[in-house]
Structure 1
Amino acid sequence: MMIRSFGRLAVAAAVSAGIATPAMAAENTRLALGISGWTGFAPLILADKAGIFKKHGIEVDLKMIPQSSRNLALASGSIECAATTVETHVAWNTNGVPITQIFQMDKSYGADGIVARNGIKSIADLKGKSVAVSAPGTSPYFLVAWVLNKNHMSMKDINVVTLEPDAAAQAFIAGSNDAASTYEPYLSSVRDKPQVGHILATTLDYPMIMDTVGCSPKWLKANPKTAKALTDSYFDALDMITKDPDQAYTIMGAASKQTAQQFKESASLLRWANRADNEKFFASQIVPFMKEASVILKEAGVIRKLPDNYAALYDASYIK
């Protein structure tokens, strides 16, 4: 009896003193989210610059982190959430860095691709050639692995030169390497210079690049309202793109040193996923894709085993 009374008194004293007990602890409305300069992530930048995050009562620190390092940032706790491709979420989870996907951002429709010298006419011609591509566990690497797999080849058939997407495109334009895997806005830098090479394949030919935002499961459990506000902010950013495209493209283009028109052209090669798209994606598309992607990830040596439970890799409740 005395112990219970003391417990009540302790809680009352804590409330009086303004000290939060574990059950009373407020959500943290601040979070760090890892992204890159990929065009598909621009609505998050718009949500930041246009005050949409603030309207939803959250403060989001958008950190530019290469895809190959985002899992390390997540594991160290320097970020709570990350935007990346679906198969990368699978790889991180399988390799010991838990992350739960909560909303889909985009799907590439020609915004990711492989560029090659003009003498390389087919995927088969890549055999024995030098291909600049980011590290294993990134979307450019997975793109190459996927395309090779669909053409009865593997990463062992090419000579990999490890470069990030922007550097891969720049090196290719400068005359280095036989081919490169990159994405918008860097892909267009090669598209505009046909004398140095051509686009060999894109996600129009091989639709397999789609991005989601995921967060640490531990952070999600402690901050569900903040995660919901993050999701709703993304959808509000899409609404702004529809209602005020000129301002939206200007803001998003400035982040990648593009004019509004240049950014609009880059964005035409992808589709941002609205709430209805998200509902369809999580209901019927994400699991089949993760299963197919996992087989290729294992073949490419990115993961050693297939996931035990695909349903545990996402939580669709935040898109409602």
Structure 2
Amino acid sequence: MQIMQNRRCFLAGAAATGTAGLVGISTSAWAEPPPETTSVRLPQWRGGAYCWAGVYMAGELLRAEGFTDVRYVQGDPSVDQSAWIANNETDFSVNYVPIHVASIDAGVPIRVLSGLHSGCLELIANDSVERITDLRGKRVGIFTFDAPPYVLVSLMAAYVGLDPANDIEWVIEPNDLAEGFIEGKFDAFLGQPPNTQKLRPRKIGHTILNSTTDAPWSQHFCCMISATADYVNKYPVATKHILRAIFKSADLCASDPPLVARRMVDQGFVPSYDYALQTLNDIRYDRWRDYDAEASLRFYALRMHETGMIKSNPQTIIAQGTDWRFVNELKRELKT
């Protein structure tokens, strides 16, 4: 793992562009005791994870929350970040809900703390597929059988009555799913930013499911925030400070996408301003207050339990791997 110290002054930049009020520190933050630790390790995807803007932009806000050592850990893109937090390489993680659920079921000591945003996923297909039920007998591209695209597409297929194991031909494409789709290696794949933004203007394929707009997926969080159980137990005040910074960052993502897109590029988190701006406009960062994090976790855990992906039932997953006290407090404190 390569560790990058984020040294840019986000608050100063925000103030210079007239948005200081959006990222100002609440009076409740000053009334709290200081964080028990001033260090935190957050994930950074090498090459750019455009939908992680809420975590990327939290770095400098954390300095105003009392943190002096904010590190972004750059991980190997061939390894899901659930392995990073499981190996204690990061303190926090932002990941798809089913991946958190699978980690809890496997006994990984994490605590899911809150949802972050909805949307960011599109199931893209060629002209032979008009709807999810048409995937019967078709080829679907995935990285591996334990990577998020396989898990998520399997759940989407099972929800409409397909048997993912027998009705779909899974095609392993270890590199670029979008390029494999363009080359005709498979009929459909799960698009994630920036692949969806790359294909859209080229009019390649069409979307048969959009997790931002299509129920029931649009009614739940797409990505949620977790932390190691050890960090939460040792540093509860710090945990709340970190979540506050992430939520303020999420509010800025929703209210000023051009500013956030520019700073993501300037700070080296992602390479393309245009893709960053499109992603921020597509994703619903304004839903962290409104959606029920426990309901989202229960929804996915039930689907995974029914399909045999996990052994634990939803109640056990929630009891063993969640802690909602911080988000409940912050929803009251950070009212719009």
TM-score, with structure 2 as normaliser: 0.74
Deviation at 1:289, TM superposition (A): 3.1
Deviation at 1:154, TM superposition (A): 2.5
- Provide Cα deviations, 1:92-133, integer angstroms capped at 9, x if missing partner: 01111121122321111xx31111112222323212222112
Task: State the secondary structure of the residue aligned to 2:95.
Answer: strand
Question: Residue 222 of structure 1 corresponds to which residue in structure 2?
Answer: 234
Task: State the secondary structure of the residue aligned to 2:284.
Answer: strand
Partners of 1:244 and 1:182 lie apart in 2 by 24
What are the within-5 Å matches in structure 2 for residues 154-303 of structure 1? Answer: 154-156=163-165, 157-163=167-173, 167-194=176-203, 196-203=204-211, 204-208=213-217, 209-241=221-253, 245-253=257-265, 255-259=269-273, 261-273=274-286, 277-278=288-289, 280-281=290-291, 285-303=292-310
Deviation at 1:220, TM superposition (A): 0.9
Query: Contact 1:115/1:179 (CA < 8 Å) preserved in 2?
Result: yes
- Provide Cα deviations, 1:166-217, integer angstroms capped at 9, x if missing partner: 71112212332221112122112222222x4222222122442521111111
Query: Contact 2:178/2:191 (CA < 8 Å) preserved in 1?
Result: yes
Query: Contact 2:197/2:278 (CA < 8 Å) preserved in 1?
Result: no
Partners of 2:144 and 2:306 lie apart in 1 by 15
Partners of 1:35 and 1:142 lie apart in 2 by 22
Task: State the secondary structure of the residue aligned to 1:104.
Answer: strand
Deviation at 1:299, TM superposition (A): 4.2
Question: Residue 313 of structure 1 corresponds to which residue in structure 2?
Answer: 321
User: Structure 1 residues 207, 64: closer, same or farther in 2, change over 3 A?
Assistant: farther
Amino acid at match of 1:183: Q
User: Structure 1 residues 301, 34: closer, same or farther in 2, change over 3 A?
Assistant: farther
Query: Contact 2:121/2:192 (CA < 8 Å) preserved in 1?
Result: yes
Partners of 1:292 and 1:238 lie apart in 2 by 23
Task: State the secondary structure of the residue aligned to 2:208.
Answer: strand
Question: Residue 114 of structure 2 corresponds to which residue in structure 1?
Answer: 103
Query: Contact 2:253/2:285 (CA < 8 Å) preserved in 1?
Result: no
Query: Contact 1:94/1:305 (CA < 8 Å) preserved in 2?
Result: yes
How many percent of aligned residue pairs carry the same amino acid? 21
User: Structure 1 residues 318, 81: closer, same or farther in 2, change over 3 A?
Assistant: same
What are the within-5 Å matches in structure 2 for residues 83-98 of structure 1? Answer: 83-98=94-109
- Choose the corresponding residue for 1:127, options 136, 145, 158: 136
Partners of 1:129 and 1:38 lie apart in 2 by 29
Deviation at 1:143, TM superposition (A): 2.8
Give structure 2 stretches of 5+ with no counterpart. Answer: 1-34, 330-336
Partners of 1:243 and 1:306 lie apart in 2 by 38
User: Structure 1 residues 67, 121: closer, same or farther in 2, change over 3 A?
Assistant: same
Partners of 1:173 and 1:270 lie apart in 2 by 24
Query: Contact 2:53/2:260 (CA < 8 Å) preserved in 1?
Result: no
User: Structure 1 residues 273, 94: closer, same or farther in 2, change over 3 A?
Assistant: farther
Deviation at 1:45, TM superposition (A): 1.4
- Choose the corresponding residue for 1:115, options 124, 144, 151: 124
User: Structure 1 residues 230, 136: closer, same or farther in 2, change over 3 A?
Assistant: farther
Give structure 1 stretches of 5+ with no counterpart. Answer: 1-25
Question: Residue 5 of structure 2 corresponds to which residue in structure 1?
Answer: none
Query: Contact 1:104/1:213 (CA < 8 Å) preserved in 2?
Result: yes
Question: Residue 50 of structure 2 corresponds to which residue in structure 1?
Answer: 39
Task: State the secondary structure of the residue aligned to 1:184.
Answer: coil
Q: CA RMSD in A?
A: 2.7
Deviation at 1:64, TM superposition (A): 4.1
Instruction: Point out the structure with max Rg over C-alpha.
Output: 1
Deviation at 1:237, TM superposition (A): 1.9
Query: Contact 2:143/2:172 (CA < 8 Å) preserved in 1?
Result: yes
Query: Contact 1:68/1:134 (CA < 8 Å) preserved in 2?
Result: no
Partners of 2:247 and 2:159 lie apart in 1 by 34
Partners of 1:207 and 1:116 lie apart in 2 by 20
User: Structure 1 residues 129, 143: closer, same or farther in 2, change over 3 A?
Assistant: same
